[in-house]
Amino acid sequence: MKLMKKFFSQTARPEGRLGKLMLSTMNSSHAALADWGMKYLPETDAGQVIDLGCGGGRNAGELLKKYPSAHVTAVDHSELSVRKSREYNSESIRQGRCTVIQSDIAGLGLDDSCFDIATAFETVYFWDTERCFAEVFRILKDGGYFLICNESDGTDRTAGQFEKIIDGMKLHTAEDLAGRLYQAGFAEVKGWHHHKKPWIAVLARKGERP
């Protein structure tokens, strides 16, 4: 039980041997969820995109494909994740289309209003949402979008067991996330549930409220 808890806690901040093992499966295990969630991103000529909590870097790579004119910044607070993401996206980094940085989401140190799109896949469980959503709001341009995609809708029993095992993990319903996003200043929030699985996608837009 102790080893299992230690392993699954690597989802929050991969490090050491167990972190490497976790990262080796993260790109493939989250791929279907991420691809489903990305369908709800707007079709736009985005110039600057940021993936927050980038893990193994696969989703940043998919964002580069979805927005071929964009520069994608991938961020994670885990040094191990940053190394893995740089390895995964090495060609795009060489081409000047991708940057991977190590940072906490609550204090990114990036310019105000510089991104068209921000994404967060399987990561907000571990965020201080008040501080982090405010930071995402700050770095987005007016009219910019923030997509959150989670495997758990906050009510499924399996995820509830992981919440008990993993320190600092907090599940959220789509409605809860929407309320927190409005509180952070977002003008419009939409949510979707997968028709078979407890997956949720929440898309918030920065702008003036109607």
Q: Is residue 48 part of a domain?
A: yes
CB 187 within 8 A of CB 168: no
Q: Number of folded domains in the chain? A: 1
Q: What is the pLDDT of residue 160?
A: 63
Q: Which CATH number is 128's domain given?
A: 3.40.50.150
For 107, counting Cβ atoms within 10 Å of its Cβ (0-12 exposed, 13-18 middle, 19+ buried), the class is exposed
Q: Is residue 107 part of a domain?
A: yes
Q: Which residues of the chain have pLDDT under 50?
A: 1-10
Q: What is the pLDDT of residue 146?
A: 98
Start-to-end C-alpha separation, the chain: 51
CB 75 within 8 A of CB 123: no
Q: Is residue 101 part of a domain?
A: yes
The residue segments making up the domain with residue 104 are 2-205
Q: Is residue 16 part of a domain?
A: yes
138, two tokens: 């700050």
| Helix spans in the chain (H) | 2-8, 16-29, 31-38, 58-66, 79-88, 90-94, 129-139, 157-165, 174-184
Q: Is residue 44 part of a domain?
A: yes
Q: Is residue 210 part of a domain?
A: no
pLDDT digits (tens, 9 = 90+) for 73-124: 999 999 999 999 999 999 999 999 999 999 999 999 999 999 999 999 999 9
